[in-house]
Amino acid sequence: MWKLSATELIEAYRAGTLSPVDVMRCTLERAAELNPAINALYDIDAEGAMAAAEASAARWKAGAPMGPLDGVPCIVKDSIAVKGMRMLRGLAARHDAGPDAEDSPPAARLREAGAILFAKSTMPDMGFLGSGLSSGHGVTRNPWDLSLNTGGSSAGSAAAVAAGIAPIAIGSDVGGSVRLPASHCGLVALKPTAGVIPHLPYSRDRVAGPITRTVADAVLLMSVLSQPDPEAFEPGAEMPAALAPLDLAGKRIGLLLSVGDGPAVAPEVEALIRGAAEVFRGLGARVEEMPAPLDFPFLRKLSAYFSVKAAGERAALPEDRRGQMLPVLTACCDAGEAMTALDFASAMSTVDKAQRLFARACEGYDFVLAPTMPMANYPAEAAGADPAHPHDHVGFTALLNQSGQPGATLPCGFAGSSPVGLQLIGPAGGDIALLAAAAAFEAAQGAGAAFPALAEAAVPA
């Protein structure tokens, strides 16, 4: 049962060949067996999950499912509020946080659709690292290789889905935080167009997004998450629950292998991205290599922006707890606190210029192919590819948060023991076409629902 996708589970429930009770029991057993090794989950509500599964089974038996995800186990990122569960935001300083009083819009939509929200997932401090390192949760490890990073900040969501603990999860993305861990863990993820998934509190560059093993599950999850919320400022969107693969014949696709700042793409990653481009060519697309859209550094300016946001969050903590975070985040907050308004304005001007040039470079293409990140992976205990500058490896992902464009990550191979993600970028508002193109690539590759050896090897005999 743990190998089945959400789409397959729903089909089995409808046919009466599986019960949500058995699936939830299997899910909890698998979490108990594997979570100690990968440290992906906290606040596992076993009793509540089994009660929800019993109620779901009764609805399916009566032929009256609550919604399109009725009885499907789902994991929610630490930073997304779930009624009755704690939000630590990865911080040791919030160790005694009480349970949230209400669901955030993404969690509310999942619950209304019948999903069983049985656990929260780990993340780095305040979500400001592309890593599974956290003062509050410890180190989250990659199921494909426990010595390697999960990426972040939706670290536990990706690790749990990759290990087969649950078929679907949601995370949030400020600079790549659903796409980076999906790349590390061999999964599918979507950072949707800004405003497509209502969320609170409002942020100009943070969005929620699905993390799944198949494109079909990402589409199904988007059809639920994109529904409007009366309290949120984002409009939502009408998304279908299923999509046929897009006919790519004649589509013009850009191949982007340099943004113009940040680390050069590693040869083994470039080879896999070029191989993915050949898949698109084989499907009839016209693939053209693009020049770097930028000729000036912007990543350190973006890091300055993150530093100011982090400093603001630290300032909201009790004064005697502000030191209870990772040293790299303390340095980040200190830099943000020391920044002058003039320096911040200058940094934001550079970031704005970079996102406009990036969006302009994508114009004229139906889609753009790029690495999700320039290297395959780095050690589990590291704050980033370059721990001294932990945001330097987000050049291919972060500008989409600034421009509002959607970006999907899809597994496209391995470099050593680490999966590598292909990023598929579309125009703002083009989420449906982007997911249909992703489905075409996935079908051509025969990808989806691959599991690491750990997933079976870690289970006691």
Distances in Å between the Cα of 289 and the Cα atoms of 189, 210, 286 are 24, 29, 10
List the structure tokens of 378.
């780095």
Q: What is the pTM of this model?
A: 0.96
Pairing outcome for strands 367-371 and 252-256: parallel
Residue 81 in 3-state DSSP?
coil
Instruction: Tally the C-alpha atoms within 13 A of residue 200's C-alpha that lie toward its C-beta.
Output: 15
The encoded tokens of residue 37 equal 């090794």
Q: What is the pLDDT of residue 453?
A: 75
CA distance 19 to 381: 39
pLDDT at 227 (0 to 100): 97
Structure letter (DSSP) for residue 92: G
Q: Give the whole-angstrom CA distance, residue 277 versus residue 314.
A: 43
Nearest to 290 by CA among 395, 361, 381: 361
- pLDDT reported for residue 204: 82
> What pLDDT is stored for residue 461 in this prediction?
34
Q: What per-residue confidence (pLDDT) applies to 449?
A: 66
Give the integer Cα–Cα distance in Å for 196 and 406: 10
Distance CA(329)–CA(314), nearest Å, equals 10
Coil vs helix vs strand at 355: helix
Identify any residues that bridge with 424 across adjacent strands, giving them in sequence order.
369, 408
Q: What residues contact 109, with CB distance under 8 A and at least 6 apart?
A: 224, 225, 227, 229
CA dihedral 396, 398, 400, 406 (to 10 degrees): 80
Point out the catalytic residue in the list 5, 19, 56, 77: 77
Q: Is 363 helix (H, G, I), strand (E, B) or coil?
A: coil
**Alpha helices, H only, 167-298:** 179-185, 215-225, 267-282
> Which stretch of DSSP H or E encloses residue 53?
helix 46-61
Q: Are 267 and 232 in contact (CB under 8 A)?
A: no
Distance, CA of 446 to CA of 443 (rounded, Å):
5
Annotation marks residue 177 as catalytic:
yes
Q: Taking Cα atoms as reference points, which of 69, 87, 78 lies closest to residue 10?
A: 69
Tens digits of residue pLDDT in 357-412 = 999 999 999 999 999 999 999 999 999 999 889 999 999 999 999 899 999 999 99
177, 226, 403, 418: which is the annotated catalytic residue? 177
Task: Specify the DSSP class assigned to residue 384.
Answer: S
451: β partners: none
Half-sphere exposure for 138 (CA within 13 Å, toward CB) = 10
Q: Is 301 helix (H, G, I), strand (E, B) or coil?
A: helix
Residue in this structure with the two tokens 């704005």, named with its chain if needed: 352
Could you tell me where the beta strands, DSSP code E, fall in 126-197?
133-134, 138-139, 141-142, 145-149, 168-173, 188-191
**Does residue 303 carry a catalytic annotation?**
no
Query: Distance of CA 210 to CAs 9, 74, 106, 213, 225, Å?
Result: 17, 10, 10, 10, 9
What DSSP line would sit under 307-348, residue for residue?
HHHHHHHHHTS-GGGTT-S-HHHHHHHHHHHH--HHHHHHHH
Query: d(Cα 374, Cα 359) in Å, to the nearest integer?
Result: 20
- 120 as an active site residue: the answer is no
Burial class (CB in 10 A: 0-12, 13-18, 19+), 242: exposed
Query: Is residue 201 reached through a cis peptide bond, with omega within 30 degrees of 0 on the bond before it?
Result: yes
pLDDT values of the chain reduced to their tens digit, one per residue, 461 residues: 999 999 999 999 999 999 999 999 999 999 999 999 999 999 999 999 999 999 999 999 999 999 999 999 999 999 999 999 999 999 999 999 999 999 999 999 999 999 999 999 999 999 999 999 999 999 999 999 999 999 999 999 999 999 999 999 999 999 999 999 999 999 999 999 999 999 999 888 899 999 999 999 999 999 999 999 999 999 999 999 999 999 999 999 999 999 999 999 999 999 999 999 999 999 999 999 999 999 999 999 999 999 999 999 999 999 999 999 999 999 999 999 999 999 999 999 999 999 999 999 999 999 999 999 999 999 999 999 998 899 999 999 999 998 999 999 999 999 999 999 999 999 999 999 999 999 999 999 876 667 887 745 454 43
CA distance 371 to 351: 20
Q: Which of 131, 134, 135, 153 is catalytic?
A: 153
Task: Give the type of residue at 80.
Answer: I
